[in-house]
Structure 1
Amino acid sequence: MPKFAAPALVISECQQGLLHPPAGAFSALSTQAADRDIVGRTAQLARTFRARSLPVVHCVIAHRPDQMGMLPNSYLGKLAIRDHLMIEGSPDVAIPAELGPEPTDLVSTRATGLTAFYGTNLDAMLRLQRVQTLVLAGISTDVALPGLALEAVNRGYDVVLAEDCTAGSSAGGHDFMVKNMLGMLTRVMPAAEVIPRLPA
C-alpha cells in the first residue's frame, strides 16, 4: 500500500463555540459533530500522527475583541459580528482537551475571513515542516473544509479527507459536499484507511 508523502493532520475549527455553541448558534452543526463523534475519532487519529512524529495542526478562529477586519458580507460574518462569536480569549475559541493542543502541535489562528489559509501563517508553517500531504479533519464540510481543500490544492499540496472525522450542518448536506465538491479535490477515506498509509 503506497504511503502518503510527508503528511500532516490538519484539524479545522474544532472549538468549543462550534462544538458546544449557545442555543440557536451552530446547533445543527454541533449535533452532527456529536452524532459522528468527530472529536473522539480525530483525537485517536492525532495520537497516531504524534506517535509517528508527524505534524498535527489546529486551524482555529479567534476574532479580535474589537472585531477589526470582520465584515458582514456573508451570513457567517453577520452572525459572528452580531452575536460576538468566537472572540479571542473567550471560552468559544478553546480546543477540546481531548484534541490538545499538545506541546508538539502547531496552531494557526485566523481573525478574519472564512478559510484557514486566508491571512494566516498556515502555508509557511506547513512548508517549514516539509509537509506535502494534508489529511483534513474537523468542521465543517459546509464551508471551512471545502475552502481549505481548494486552497491547499492551489498551493500544490496533496489532500486527503478523513471523512469520518468531519461533519457538516446536516447529514444530507455533508454527503452532498463530500460527493460533489470534496470528492473532486481530495482523496476521501475513513481514518482507518489513513493510518496504514502513514510513514512509520
Structure 2
Amino acid sequence: MDDVKLDLARTALVMIDLQHGIVPRPWAPYTGEQVVGNCVLLSQEMRNRGAMVVYVHVLLNELLVRQVDVPASAPGVAPPPPQASQLVPEAGVEATDVVVVKRSWGAFYGTELDQLLRRRGIKTILMAGIATNMGVESTARAAFDHGYDLVFAEDAMTSFSAEAHRFACENMFRRMGRVRTTTHLLQALRAGTGEA
C-alpha cells in the first residue's frame, strides 16, 4: 500500500451529516458515536496543523421528496424536529471551522463547498461521516468529478450495514482515492510526515 503525501495547506477534512437526526440511528460496522469520536480526533489533529475543517449537515425537512421504491420515511410519519438537522455537540465544531448546509445527499450540489475549497487552494479532501454509501459516497463522487484527490477515513464512516460499508470502501473508494484508518492517518500527521 503506497503512502499518500498530504500537503496540509491544500488538504481539507470534510465530515458529512454528524447531526442529531442521523448519528443515533443503528449503523454498522461502527456506531454513530464511534464515527463522531474518530471524526473529532481527525478534526483536532487537522485543526492543530492549520488545515481546513469542514462540517456538512443536511436540512432533513428540506430534502426533495421523489417517487422511489424505498422512501426515506414511511407515509404518515411526522417530519423530524428542527434539532434533527443540527450538528451534535460531540462533533466539536469550533469557530474557525466551516459549516456547509445541504439539501440533498451530496455536499457539492446547490452549496458553496466547491467555491470555499478552491478559495483556500484545496486539492485533497479527507472524507468522513455518515452514511458511507449515501452522503459520503455522493460527496466523494462529485469531488472526484471536480478533480479533487481523495482520502477516506474508513473507521470514521459507517452505513446501514457492514456489507454496504465494506462494498463502498473496497470497491468504490479505492478506485477514487486512498482508504486508511483513523489511527493510520493520525500517526502520519503526528509524525509530521504528512504521509498517510
Q: What residue in structure 2 maps to residue 52 of structure 1?
A: 49
User: Which AA in structure 2 matches 1:110?
Assistant: K
Question: Any unmatched runs of 5+ in structure 2?
Answer: none
Q: What residue in structure 2 maps to residue 4 of structure 1?
A: 6
In the superposition, relative to structure 1, how do residues 105 and 82 fare at CA in structure 2: closer, same or farther (>3 Å)? farther
Per-residue deviation at 1:103? 0.2
- Aligned partner of residue 89 in structure 2, secondary structure: coil
How far, CA to CA, are the matches of 2:120 and 2:184 in structure 1? Answer: 23
Pairing partner for 1:71 from 59, 65, 86: 65
How far, CA to CA, are the matches of 1:174 and 1:46 in structure 2? Answer: 22
After alignment, is 32-41 or 119-128 more displaced? 32-41
Question: Any unmatched runs of 5+ in structure 1?
Answer: 21-26
TM-score in terms of structure 1 length: 0.82
In the superposition, relative to structure 1, how do residues 192 and 75 fare at CA in structure 2: closer, same or farther (>3 Å)? farther
Per-residue deviation at 1:179? 0.9
How far, CA to CA, are the matches of 2:31 and 2:172 in structure 1? Answer: 23
Per-residue deviation at 1:59? 1.1
Count of matched residue pairs: 187
The answer (yes or no) to whether the contact 1:8–1:135 under 8 Å persists in 2 is: yes
Pairing partner for 1:13 from 13, 17, 23: 17
- Aligned partner of residue 98 in structure 1, secondary structure: helix
Post-superposition CA distance 1:59-78 (Å, at most 9, x none) = 110145xx4x7232346765
TM-score in terms of structure 2 length: 0.83
How far, CA to CA, are the matches of 1:142 and 1:2 in structure 2? Answer: 23
Q: What residue in structure 2 maps to residue 190 of structure 1?
A: 181
Q: What residue in structure 2 maps to residue 24 of structure 1?
A: none
State how 1:1-200 maps to structure 2 within 5 Å: 3-5=5-7, 6-20=10-24, 27-29=25-27, 32-34=29-31, 37-63=34-60, 67=62, 70-74=64-68, 78-79=72-73, 83=77, 85=79, 90-111=82-103, 113-195=104-186, 196=188, 199=194
The answer (yes or no) to whether the contact 2:29–2:165 under 8 Å persists in 1 is: no
RMSD of equivalent CA atoms: 2.6
